């Protein structure tokens, strides 16, 4: 009895070693569930293992992958979303264990088939979500310099990034991020993927402004439809901004200028929610150490913010502070200016020093904001900026500039801004 049990355990361990743990993982996820979806997954797994065994082969990640890809193209899988879901669920577990060389050798046929699966499952949220996961895993294996084979499929993946179904949308966004992460060592492919994202942004981000212009000329009968179009456009932008927070730090530097141009235009709509999320996207780009924004791009971005949108949001006529606007919008802008100037101080200290007095002047009034969170963000940003940017070398440079110019020098302006924060208004 003991010997038989030992032999059975040894056999199970050998099977798990051969399949890379696919069977064990699926059983751990679905083996104890009575849900029909889980039972379907287990049935598909059994069927695949039986087919592989009948062919006299071992159940490895590669043979499981091949069997499932063949099965996905059969009529019964095409006609049943439930079977498609189960097959893609098993396939996703297998794909993370399939060698890149195998995926690349079958890349064209794989992306074509999985694209068809995603398209035909578009109306079935669970099935299309599972298909998008598999699609992202295969796209991530694209061979350097072979993006032409992945281009259309990547665009399909992007088309789901603004889907109204949260689980589908988040899956598409996460898979897109996984593809970008996998392309970091493939500059040519990464550039093409980044440009594809910029193209989507050029279509989606101007949507609210265009819908608003159309609504302005709409008749009374068209008013309801026009307002619905504005709401739909804003939703699409919010969905895309949510994705860009994860995507922009992974995109190439040359793709950023046209993207930044589109993002900055959103501030002109003066919509607090859009402005907050835009600031968070820009903040994500600046904060990630690996992001490819150059020092010149960063300096230009901060200058544009200080001269335009940051000034309007934080201290302009009818500003958000005066109007007691959404505190999150104010905090996001404060954190954006803090992160941007601190990073610029590491790269080009002199440029950061020139901008420091103007940023401090914008942030000091936030110390008197009604919202506790805004005051806390402003205080933290000011402390961080003064520690990061106000170095002895910068003070010497500013003192030298002070001797060469008339009127209030940058150093005097900075001292005046800091001194003003000590007034009774901010106590």
Rounded distance, CA 109 to CA 186, Å? 22
pTM: 0.87
Q: What is the pLDDT of residue 7?
A: 41
Rounded distance, CA 312 to CA 208, Å? 20
Q: What is the pLDDT of residue 244?
A: 98
Give the dihedral sign, CA 16/17/18/20: positive
Name the packing angle between helices 327-347 and 349-363 (round to 10°): 160
Q: What is the pLDDT of residue 2?
A: 39
Rounded distance, CA 348 to CA 357, Å? 16
Rounded distance, CA 136 to CA 240, Å? 18
Closest CA to 126 of 167, 155, 93, 66: 167
Q: Distance of CA 146 to CAs 150, 252, 292, Å?
A: 7, 18, 23
Q: Which residues of the chain have pLDDT under 70?
A: 1-17, 314-325, 397-427
Q: What is the pLDDT of residue 276?
A: 93
Q: Cβ–Cβ contacts within 10 Å for residue 347, how many? A: 13
């Amino acid at each position: 009895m003991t010997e038989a049990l030992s032999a059975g355990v040894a056999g199970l361990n050998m099977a798990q070693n051969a399949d890379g743990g696919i069977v064990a993982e699926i059983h751990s996820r679905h083996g104890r569930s009575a849900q029909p979806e889980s039972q379907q997954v287990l049935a598909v797994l059994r069927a695949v293992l039986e087919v592989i065994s009948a062919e006299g082969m071992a159940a490895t990640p590669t043979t499981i992958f091949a069997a499932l890809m063949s099965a996905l193209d059969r009529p019964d899988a095409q006609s049943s979303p439930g079977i498609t879901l189960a097959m893609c669920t098993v396939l996703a577990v297998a794909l993370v264990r399939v060698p890149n060389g195998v995926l690349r050798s079958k890349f064209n046929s794989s992306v074509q088939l999985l694209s068809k699966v995603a398209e035909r499952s578009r109306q079935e949220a669970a099935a299309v979500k599972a298909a998008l996961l598999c699609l992202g895993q295969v796209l991530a294996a694209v061979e350097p310099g072979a993006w032409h084979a992945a281009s259309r499929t990547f665009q399909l993946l992007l088309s789901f990034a603004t889907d109204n179904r949260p689980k589908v949308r988040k899956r598409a966004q996460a898979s897109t991020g996984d593809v970008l992460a996998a392309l970091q060592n493939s500059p040519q492919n990464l550039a093409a993927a980044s440009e594809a994202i910029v193209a989507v942004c050029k279509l989606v981000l101007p949507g609210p402004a265009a819908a608003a212009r159309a609504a302005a000329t709409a008749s009374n009968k068209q008013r309801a439809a026009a307002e619905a179009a504005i709401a739909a456009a804003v939703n699409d932008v919010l969905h895309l901004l949510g994705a860009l927070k994860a995507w922009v730090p992974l995109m190439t530097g040359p793709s950023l200028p046209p993207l930044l141009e589109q993002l900055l235009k959103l501030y002109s709509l003066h919509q607090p929610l859009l402005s907050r999320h835009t600031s968070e996207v820009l903040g994500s780009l600046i904060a990630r150490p690996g992001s490819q924004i150059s020092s010149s791009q960063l300096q230009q971005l901060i200058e544009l913010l200080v001269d335009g949108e940051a000034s309007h949001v934080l201290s302009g006529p009818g500003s958000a502070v005066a109007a007691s606007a959404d505190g999150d919008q104010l905090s996001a802008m404060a954190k954006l200016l803090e992160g941007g100037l601190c990073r610029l101080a590491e790269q080009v200290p002199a440029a950061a020093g020139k901008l420091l007095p103007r940023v401090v002047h914008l942030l000091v009034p936030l110390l008197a904001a009604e919202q506790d969170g805004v005051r806390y963000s402003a205080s933290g940003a000011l402390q961080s900026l003064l520690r990061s940017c106000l170095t002895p070398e910068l003070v010497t440079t500013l003192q030298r500039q002070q001797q060469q110019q008339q009127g209030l020098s940058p150093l005097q302006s900075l001292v005046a801004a800091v001194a003003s924060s000590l007034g009774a208004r901010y106590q």
